Amino acid sequence: MPIKVEFIEDMPITVYHYPEKLESNQDLRDALALATDHNRNLPDPVIWVIHNTSKLNLDFGTLVSSLVTLTKEGPEGFDDPRLRVAAVSGNELVKLAARSASQRQYGGWQVMIFDTYEEALAHAREDLARQKEA
The domains located in the chain, with CATH, are 4-133 (3.30.750.24)
Looking at residue 104, what DSSP letter applies? G
Mean pLDDT of 30-50: 92
pLDDT value for 72 = 67
pLDDT value for 106 = 59
Chain centre to alpha carbon of residue 117 = 12
Report the predicted TM-score, pTM, of the whole model to 2 decimal places. Answer: 0.89
Sequence-ordered strand ranges (E) for 18-110: 47-52, 83-88
Which comes out higher in pLDDT, residue 79 or 13? 13
Instruction: Report the distance separating Cα 21 and Cα 34, nearest Å.
Output: 20
Q: Is 29 exposed, middle or buried (0-12, 13-18, 19+ CB in 10 A)?
A: middle
